[in-house]
Amino acid sequence: MESPLASLTFTADRPRHRQLHDALREAIREGRLTRGARVPSSRRLADDLGLARNTVARVYDDLISEGYLVGRQGSGTYVADSSPDPPRSTFEPAPPARPSQWSLRAGGVAPMAVPGDGPLPYDFRPGTPDWDAFPRRIWWRLVGRRLRDGSALRRYGDPAGYQPLREAISRHLSATRGVICRGDQVVIVNGTQQAIDILARVLVDPGDRVVVEDPGYVEARQLFNAYGAILWPAAVDGLGLRTDTLPVGATRLAYVTPAHQYPTGAALALERRAELLSWAETHNAYIVEDDYDAEFRHGAGARESLQGLEGGRRVLYLGTFSTVLFPPLRVGFVVLPSSLVLPFTRAKWLADRGTGLLEQQALADFLDEGHFIRHVRRSRRRALARRITLEIALARALGGEAEIFPDAGGSHILVRFPGRDAVAIARAARARGVGVYPAAPSYVAREAPQDLVLLGFGALAESTIDTGIAHLATAVRTIPRGLPTPRLSA
């Protein structure tokens, strides 16, 4: 018989035996090879298709084992009389179940998501450290040493984290941020976002009121909203969170970034810190203090943490190593009052069975042997030099067309392009290989300004910053002015 596969052509993306298998199976399913029909011998089909006979024989054996073909001794190979596929049904399934209320409330798109494919040569993405400056040889040596030992890697670790790392973090925070805690109050998490997620599960019931900064960190807001919280946006100005906009009445917690407000860069004034702590005491509320870029402080240095001022009874302190070491290192931490350590750890165990132990071991050594603090000091010097380069480049390329918000720390700046739409700027910049990020998604209750852009500089060399800003200036000037420019506190 003439094979319906005689004209089959092969592609280079999959093994030929797999392509022949699938083609024969589809020919049987579609009736082009009818039930009970004899198929060509393996030798003949191999000759027709230019394959080795063993290849065809292997495919026939596979299809026989799957029930599509049958072999008859001395007679050849035939299409099976009955199909192994389930019978077709006229049953119409019900529409898919609706998404859960959690997923509907979470909603939204990450504000740092950028349409388009592939990395950008001049990506001013906030929160990204310089991988080229990371001491990789030291890190590899520490990881290798732990792998050679390997005794602790045979089993799951403590969901609260590797105890020597918890102790090392406690010592580091006490020395650098004034945090008051013991090692057993530190719980290791897979980054700050997981810490916020677990805190929301443990502390927030649907209908609870949660204070968030306006503008503020979008992903935290989305998480609290997903768990059914009633959000209360508290305004931010040049002195940080405005305590006169805090709510009166029952409130579960307030999520704040007091050391370096995200995204404005403002530091919470000392008087307001006292007022925020007093408010929490009066309303029996927790404060979640996200110190997301604690290692990057320029000028006068870091202010003491809220947790250290209050003593850690109501303030839950969050931090991460991803923004100073490298992003895929998903190791962060949360410092908790002793009463919350067990419920938080139980929730984490249900979620993921613990953060990677090998990374925790290497990081503990990295801290204890002084490599971390040396890397931080070098990173601060580089960040300051890059910030200065960025400000000079903006002034030179755009002059009064770009207004920089004052900021004494961090690895990003907030820039206004008066009268120009930030989304349009981001699109035009991306077409020139430049990544910049509109700030409007960070706003909640107030009318979001449409001319603000976030520029991160932590991962870019100074020469790259210069060139990238030159391309950005070209993109900006393609966008006509036309937006109102309301005054915002800087």
Give 427-447 pLDDT, tens digit per residue. 999 999 999 999 988 998 667
How confident is the prediction for the chain on average, in pLDDT?
A: 85
Same domain, 247 and 301: yes
Q: Where residue 458 falls among pLDDT bands split at 50, 70, 90?
A: confident
Domain that holds residue 389: 114-127+374-476
In a domain, 321, yes or no: yes
Task: Please determine, for residue 484, whether its predicted confidence score (pLDDT) is greater than 60.
Answer: no
Helical pair 371-398 and 357-368, crossing angle rounded to 10 deg = 90
Same domain, 276 and 143: yes
Q: What is the pTM of this model?
A: 0.76
Same domain, 163 and 150: yes
Interval 39-70: pLDDT, tens:
888 888 888 888 888 888 888 888 887 788 88
Same domain, 219 and 341: yes
Interval 64-99: pLDDT, tens:
877 888 888 778 888 887 766 655 545 555 555 566
Q: How far apart are CA 229 and CA 212, in angstroms?
A: 11
Sequence-distant (≥ 6) Cβ neighbours of residue 362 within 8 angstroms: 139, 142, 143, 146
Q: Where residue 108 falls among pLDDT bands split at 50, 70, 90?
A: low
pLDDT for the residue numbered 343:
93
Interval 279-325: pLDDT, tens:
999 999 999 999 888 777 655 455 688 998 888 899 999 999 888 88
Of 369, 385, 407, which one is at a domain's C-terminal end?
369
Mean pLDDT, to the nearest integer, of 222-242?
Answer: 93
H or E segment and range at residue 189: strand 186-189
Q: Which two tokens stand for residue 52?
A: 């080795």
pLDDT for the residue numbered 134:
86
Domain count, the chain: 3
pLDDT for the residue numbered 110:
56
Of 338, 369, 400, which one is at a domain's C-terminal end?
369
Q: What CATH code is carried by the domain that includes residue 381?
A: 3.90.1150.10
pLDDT for the residue numbered 115:
47
Sequence-distant (≥ 6) Cβ neighbours of residue 117 within 8 angstroms: none
Same domain, 147 and 288: yes
Same domain, 177 and 252: yes
Strands (E) in 252-360, as ranges, are 253-256, 286-290, 315-320, 332-335
**Could you give the maximum distance between any two Cα atoms of the chain, in Å?**
96
Q: Where residue 475 falls among pLDDT bands split at 50, 70, 90?
A: very high
Task: Please determine, for residue 329, whether its predicted confidence score (pLDDT) is greater than 70.
Answer: yes
What is the DSSP code string of 270-318? HHHHHHHHHHHHHHT-EEEEE-TTTT-B-TT-PPPPHHHHHTSSSEEEE
Same domain, 208 and 334: yes
